[in-house]
Amino acid sequence: MKFLFDKDTWQEIYSSIRKNKTRTGITIIGVMWGIFLLVVLLGAAKGVENNFNKLFGDFATNSVFIWGQSTSKPFKGFQEGRQVALKIDDIEKIKQEVKGVELIAPRSQDGGLVIRKFQSGNFNISGDFPVLDKIQNKDLIYGRFINDNDIKEKKKVCVIEEEVYKQLFEKDEYPIGELVNINGINYKVVGLFKESQTIRLGDNIHIPFTTFQQVYNRGDNISWMIITGNAESSIVQIEKDAKLIIKNLHKIHPEDKRALGGINLGDMFKKITGFLIGMQFLTWFVGIATLIAGVFAIGNILLITVKERTKEIGIRRALGAKPWEIKRQIMLESVFLTSIAGAFGIIFGGLILMLIDATLGKGPDAALTNPTVDIPIVLIAALTLVVLGTLIGLIPAQTAVSIRPIEALREE
């Protein structure tokens, strides 16, 4: 390893590069572009992935939403166009008969005028069970969410969104225990939660489900439901099975596709995950292919260099230089060029990702979120580059030592 610290070794490398400035510069740019492209594309792919993860962040991704619409086919004496009203009993039937169901949250929703002192506003009022907090985790600032005791006793309590707080309360005022008037009825505030930055369900104020049904005279009707499957189950199959049970209970034609609306969050998430995997594969393929092309360019440059230095190599061999010393020098030059190109590529790639994050990664509508590349991946890319540089350096190095000194001395 002493040759690495030998001044003559590096002077020779410098002299070789200096003789072919333009050619060497273009070659370095080629390799640099390869690893630069790899870093930027991987960072951008990570930013897209982070954005999707943020979108689904506080929600159970293996979920489906189902609600009633109007029928499109007559069935068992009922005419087309009948409005389907989901019932609370549908929930128990789905729990019993659909395999793989982990959680179900029946929901009721309506609008209402909310007043506190001299402030007022129109907000969405949702009747909910405590299970909703397990499906969509509420980011509570103060207090708590609806609990089982609220449901059992039909309490007049509410959990309000931050936007409601801003309109009805003074800045820095503590809301827990305060009363707000919702459609003429007073409710005690027991919780304050942050507005969701991901999937928004129009929830401004939550009250106990049983209280909502009583106050709004909903009986056993519900607005819609959220079903969450366990990790081993297919949420697509759960949706099919749940809808079939609802159709049987409400006497809806089995082939009626309009009667029940639904959004399958799990299916969407699966497709997005597949897209992200494909994008990462394409990123690696393009980046590595560009990298290999650049490294081969370095090999070609060194082959030309060896050809130009044939006489010099012959003189060194005649003076007693051993073949492995010649080979070592050529390979070191190859590794040096690839390392320099790789370092610049990684640095410029990192700077571009910082620029992308500053311009496209800020705010609620950010196109990319924290576009970064993990340090181990960068180290693997750099190590791969060095290994490729070493391997490609073997070709011109072997060419150099295969030249017989007497023939090299005759070279003009």
Beta-carbon count within 10 A of 190 CB = 21
- Provide the residue-wise pLDDT of the chain in tens; the chain has 412 residues: 554 555 655 666 666 666 667 767 777 787 788 788 888 888 888 888 777 777 666 666 788 999 999 999 988 888 899 999 999 999 999 999 999 999 999 999 998 899 998 899 999 999 999 999 888 888 899 999 999 999 999 999 999 999 999 999 998 899 999 999 999 999 999 999 987 666 666 678 999 999 999 999 999 999 999 999 988 888 889 999 999 999 999 999 989 989 999 988 888 878 887 888 888 888 888 877 877 777 777 677 666 666 666 666 666 666 666 666 666 666 777 777 778 888 888 899 889 988 888 887 776 666 677 888 888 888 887 787 777 777 776 666 666 666 665 555 555 5
Query: What pTM was computed for the model?
Result: 0.69
Residue 129 confidence (pLDDT): 95
CA angle at 293 for the pair 287 and 295, rounded to the nearest 5°: 100
The sign one gets for the Cα dihedral 344, 346, 351, 355 is positive
Query: How far apart, in whole angstroms, are the C-alpha atoms of residue 330 and residue 327?
Result: 5
Please answer whether residues 241 and 99 qualify as being in contact, where contact means their C-beta atoms are separated by less than 8 angstroms.
yes
Please answer whether residues 276 and 45 qualify as being in contact, where contact means their C-beta atoms are separated by less than 8 angstroms.
yes
Residue 152 confidence (pLDDT): 95
Which of 295, 390, 401 has its CA nearest to residue 333?
A: 390
DSSP bridge partners of 107: 224
Residues 6+ away with beta carbon under 8 Å from 230: 62, 100, 101, 102
DSSP three-state, residue 19: helix
- Give me the DSSP letters along 310-329: HHHHHHHHHTT--HHHHHHH
